[in-house]
Amino acid sequence: MKPKLLIVELWGLGDLVIGSPFLRAAVEKYDVTLLAKPYATELQRRLWPDVRVIPVIAPWTAFKGKYQLWRWPVWTLARLIWRLRRERFAVGVSSRWDPRDHLLLALVGAKDRLGYPRLGSQFFLNKRLRRPGPLCHRYEFWRVLGDRLGFSLPPLGAIPITQARVNRTVLVHTGAGQSVRVWPLTRFQKIIQRLRAEQFRVLLACDPDQYDAWMQADEKGVVAPGSVSGLLALIEQAGMFIGNDSGPGHLAAFCGLPTFSIFGPQLPEWFAPLHPEGESVEGKPCPYKPCSDYCRFAEPVCLTQLTEEEIWARLQQFLARHASAAAAR
């Protein structure tokens, strides 16, 4: 019987996708349970079918009001912890240097608790890991965990990626987890016009709060996927992806689409999608970068100062390379 492994990854869609090579490798050696947001159940069917998912929305992952403790579902959390304690996990891991994850691993009673300590959280861990270098990709944190658990993950750039269909259909997704990561929609609109002028078929997707703006721009075919499954249905039709630093971009990359990602406050070195043929444009310099999702200015100048011409010049090279592959097919 395989030992039981609990993996805690309570944050975004992109974070889960970056951890997918680890999840796929771990099931070869462990009976794996993943504690993650509810959409992980949709990812599970597509990306890691042998992983058991326990859906949970941790209150400390909210963007606003995360420490309004009187709003926390205390009894729901207590029942979850008690349920997990009865599982008697041999190992519990988190790839984040997050004391809340480490406390959770201690509360559920995992025998070996592996993580990257911060702010005193080493007291909740009995196997402490040294963080990779300051400019290492988030995937490297999973690689270190894999090494400590006895299995090796391929280096960044050599991760096995399913080959997507090769065609001239481009999925453009204009949303992101937070508004400070969104390149202006008017500039996306001009890029879309240029794509169509170059005879590319465009599938346009967006976040729900962007839908009305696209309808007013006369983009009647725009789709605001209400689920991961809906997003996957669009990804399966496309041959390339263009978007922001976002979860949809990470999912598209892992499903085989070469991605072109427009970054703002975060660094591509940390969060570029995993497809080896993907490209990223870094946001303009700012003294506060990287600043995650909290901008000190009225608008994220690192993004708004990226012009349509700058993006198109880089995008043309990306499109030419992948369109030639489509023509060869």
User: Average model confidence (pLDDT) for the chain?
Assistant: 93
65/86: higher pLDDT: 86
Q: What pLDDT does residue 232 have?
A: 96
CATH number for 14: 3.40.50.2000
Q: What pLDDT does residue 328 have?
A: 52
The pTM score is: 0.94
**186 and 308 housed in the same domain:** yes
Grade residue 64 by pLDDT with cuts at 50, 70 and 90: confident
Picking from 92, 119, 149, the residue at the C-terminal end of a domain is 149
**How many domains does the chain divide into?**
2
pLDDT, tens only, 190-227:
999 999 999 999 999 999 999 999 999 999 999 999 99
**142 and 173 housed in the same domain:** no
pLDDT, tens only, 199-208:
999 999 999 9
**182 and 296 housed in the same domain:** yes
Q: How far apart are CA 93 and CA 115, in angstroms?
A: 6
Q: Which string of DSSP letters, residue by residue, matches 265-321? A: SS-HHHH--S-TT-EEEPPPP-TT-S-TT--SSSS-HHHHTS-HHHHHHHHHHHHHH
Give the number of other CB atoms < 10 A from CB of residue 162.
9
Judge if the upstream peptide bond of residue 290 is cis by omega within 30 degrees of 0.
yes
**94 and 235 housed in the same domain:** no
Q: What pLDDT does residue 73 have?
A: 82
- Rounded to an integer, the average pLDDT of 103-130 is 95
Give the number of other CB atoms < 10 A from CB of residue 163.
6
Domain that holds residue 290: 169-328
**139 and 184 housed in the same domain:** no
Q: Which string of DSSP letters, residue by residue, matches 197-250? A: HTT-EEEEE--GGGHHHHHHTT-TT-B--SSHHHHHHHHTT-SEEEEESSHHHH
- Rounded to an integer, the average pLDDT of 264-291 is 93
Q: What pLDDT does residue 137 have?
A: 97
Kindly tell me the burial class for residue 157, based on how many C-beta atoms sit within 10 Å of its own C-beta (0-12, 13-18, 19 or more): exposed
